[in-house]
Amino acid sequence: MSLLSIRSLDVRHGLLQAVRQVTFDIEEGERVALTGANGAGKTTLLRAIAGAHRPSGGQIKFDGLDVTRTPAHRRVAEGIALVPEGRRLFSAMTVEENLRIAGGYGRTGGWTLDRVMETFPMLKARRRARCSTLSGGEQQATAIGRALMTNPRLLLLDEVSLGLSPLAVDIVYKSLESLIATGATVLLVEQDLKRALRIATKVLCMLDGRIVLSGDARDVTRDQITDAYFGHRKRAGWATAK
């Protein structure tokens, strides 16, 4: 049984249909890179999985449980955590306060304050600093750490490298590699294809709200992903989602 099972999912923003008949599965321990141009529906899809945006049709199952209409806070308790685009930290609170608040709403497990600090060493010296004073990389590390404090079974990461300096991206991804080594299940939205393919076991590409390419990260080429990204489906057709 898949950890996450999406079937014929539709999600709207008013009259605009942002996600169209999306179907895919994620197995426990998989790392899935979700690619696609701006406006393809990636963020809306992640928000729907996390419970922050209600679908207009279809089904979301998590570990066999239908969570399509389950509120976001209950999905956190079941083991789904979202690191949103833009981080959305409590800026007037400290790093440690942001982490401790999240720890009160999730599952029990091995992710503690000390373990988060070990995974993201850059936060140790900044644990009592207000989040408004952090660099972009430190904010992203705090946002990921906040999600980990809920002890998720599925971690949703939206645009990890967005707005960060190359050095900050390197530091964040090095920490992510430590996380992935623990066997975490991850659905990652990332525009940096090289970095995404380095950690992914599976690739999905969205176009106009649909999954147009799906394949094993070891088999999908950059040209095939690029063709799907821009809608050139003939060359990418071997892995085109049905």
Q: The whole model's pTM is what? A: 0.89
pLDDT tens-digit series, residues 116-135: 998 888 899 999 999 999 99
Rounded to 5 degrees, φ, ψ at 103 are: -60, -20
Query: What are the angstrom distances between the C-alpha of 43 and each of 59, 65, 93, 97, 189?
Result: 17, 23, 26, 26, 8
Structural domains present in the chain: 4-239 (3.40.50.300)
Mean pLDDT, consecutive 10-residue stretches, the chain (242 aa), reads 96 95 97 93 97 97 97 95 86 94 84 91 93 92 92 92 81 80 89 86 95 93 86 51 42
In terms of C-beta density within 10 A (0-12 exposed, 13-18 middle, 19 or more buried), how is residue 224 classed?
buried
